[in-house]
Structure 1
Amino acid sequence: MRAVAPNAVTAMALCAGLTGIRFAIAQSWELAVAMVLLAAVLDGIDGRVARLVRGESRFGAELDSLSDAISFGVSPALILYLWSLQALPRLGWICALVFAVFCALRLARFNAAIDTTDQPHKSAGFLTGIPAPVAAGLAMLPMYLWFIDETPLLREPLVVAPWVALVAILMISSLATFSWGSLRLRQNIRFEALAGVVILVAAFASYPWQTLTALALAYLAMLPFSVRAYGRVKQQRAKLAEPSRPPAAPAP
């Protein structure tokens, strides 16, 4: 019974992602995007609920991956296709397919590496590629901008299609990205971090699309820093792995 609560949250995330497709069919674009964002919030909760009630299970892990594939792969792809990409029936559909399939490939790679002991990125506190929920949020960045200012260029499929393809490639890439679960706050800045969360929530309540745009751009700006940070960790590990050389014999 302890596994029911986290699995129920995962099922709610799946329902939210599918409901986003329903709103997209009705051309309620803001509600469609909101449902995908709600699915991302629920996806971030289910694992913590499972650890809180000690309800982790292999079934829950598989259900979570299937939910992510639909909520953050299929749903954003169809929403973006109905919103813009359908103006290019062939190229637009190819980009939508690539995004959905690459999301499934990323999740399959993650599941295949669960039992692998040698995971350099994970052991260093990094992720491999952009997580699926983050990729879904980044892929819908043109929609955030269009909600702020309905400029026709932002809905142009020749602009949206390359962006969706780029995010899909980043999702299955080998880039080292920061893992939020590995972040540790210092004791002396926790109050400042709490104040920042309050400001962020207030900004999101007042200006949701502007706040999401800023968060998406900030995440993209952090990618070079995450790659550089992992490079430093990799260099430190290489130095530690070098065998110690015996001292040179003194000259006669």
Structure 2
Amino acid sequence: MSETDPPRRRGIPLRALIPNAVTVLALCFGLTGVRFAIGGEWEKAVGAILLAGVLDGIDGRIARLLKGTSRFGAELDSLSDVTAFGVAPTLVLYLWALQHLPGRFGWVIALAHAIACALRLARFNAQIDAEDQPHKRLGYLTGIPAPVGAGLALSPLYLQFWLAPAFLDDLAIRASVVAAISLCVAFLMVSSLPSYSWGSLRLRSTWRLPALGAVGLFAGALFTNPWPTLTLVVVAYAATLPFAVSSYARLKAREGSGRAVETRAADGIQPPP
């Protein structure tokens, strides 16, 4: 280094802390949801967890935008996800419904969601550096993401807020519905079923303006009638899962046939006319 070069500054640049701060905020909002649930403020509890999901969706993009990605940030994100989307929904669902199941089965079912979330994130961390990831290579996810799992598991509360007091007022029915949905969501999180990611979605150029208009209408509906809108979002997402499985199967078959053709060409074998 010459005498005219400015001295190098040691330490972590501030831009690297911004995405980590957003991740910590997501963690705090998830735990705040538990605090509201303990006080019986169910709408605030669900809203806090949903806000944690929004923050979790943007922290990675902020890190890439600011070139502040790091291994520390990835590990912090996973720990935040386990807390905000595994532990927090577990406690909210138990306090709202599952504690009313006979015996102690409610707590066991509640634990299923937290365990499934932790296992999913552990699998994700273990495969970060893996080269062979068939789902990721084709733009799909393996299972459903932890924030989506939390949103699906909390869907009975959306219905309750929307249709109350005529829906799920019977505690036994409420507990049974929540138990069934929680177990299904736990299975989807740890399963190897492919699900859509942003990378697997493609939009024709002619659909750009209608899509932007739909986004505006969705935002307006979400702010004016959040619980019916979230219920419809949950139903729509659940309806995409079978299509994701069939779409991935077609792409995988196409990829396999393409590799077979390349192998024949490399071996000098011409395809049949």
Query: When the two structures are superposed, what TM-score results if normalisation uses the length of structure 2?
Result: 0.87
Matched, 1:246 2:269: yes
Q: Structure 2 stretches of 5 or more lacking a match?
A: 1-13
Note the C-alpha offset of 1:90. Answer: 1.2
Name the SS for the 1:98 alignment partner: helix
Structure 2 counterparts to residues 162-177 of structure 1, below 5 A:
162-177=180-195
Per-residue Cα deviation, 1:186-239 (whole angstroms, up to 9, x for no partner): 333222111110000001111100000000000000001000100001101111
Would you say the 8 A contact 2:30–2:85 is kept in 1?
Answer: yes
Which of 17, 23, 31 is the aligned partner of 1:10?
Answer: 23
Name the SS for the 2:195 alignment partner: strand
Q: Could you say which residue in structure 1 is the equivalent of 2:161?
A: 147
Name the SS for the 1:127 alignment partner: strand
Which of 221, 230, 235 is the aligned partner of 1:217?
Answer: 235
Alignment: residue pair count: 248
Structure 2 counterparts to residues 57-68 of structure 1, below 5 A:
57-68=70-81
Which of 132, 135, 143 is the aligned partner of 2:149?
Answer: 135
- Aligned amino acid, residue 30 of structure 2: G
Which of structure 1's runs of 4+ aligned residues deviate more than 4 A? none
Name the SS for the 1:122 alignment partner: helix
RMSD value, Cα: 1.5
Using the aligned pairs only, state the percent identity: 56
Q: Could you say which residue in structure 2 is the equivalent of 1:234?
A: 252
Which of 171, 182, 205 is the aligned partner of 2:223?
Answer: 205
- Aligned amino acid, residue 149 of structure 1: L
How far apart, CA to CA, are the structure 1 residues paired with 2:201 and 2:174? Answer: 38
How far apart, CA to CA, are the structure 2 residues paired with 1:247 and 1:211? Answer: 55
Which of 54, 59, 80 is the aligned partner of 1:41?
Answer: 54
How far apart, CA to CA, are the structure 1 residues paired with 2:200 and 2:37? Answer: 35
Would you say the 8 A contact 1:153–1:159 is kept in 2?
Answer: no
- Aligned amino acid, residue 220 of structure 1: A
How far apart, CA to CA, are the structure 2 residues paired with 1:136 and 1:246? Answer: 52
Which of 113, 121, 135 is the aligned partner of 1:121?
Answer: 135
- Aligned amino acid, residue 194 of structure 1: L
How far apart, CA to CA, are the structure 1 residues paired with 2:108 and 2:41? Answer: 24
Would you say the 8 A contact 1:18–1:71 is kept in 2?
Answer: yes
Would you say the 8 A contact 2:140–2:199 is kept in 1?
Answer: no
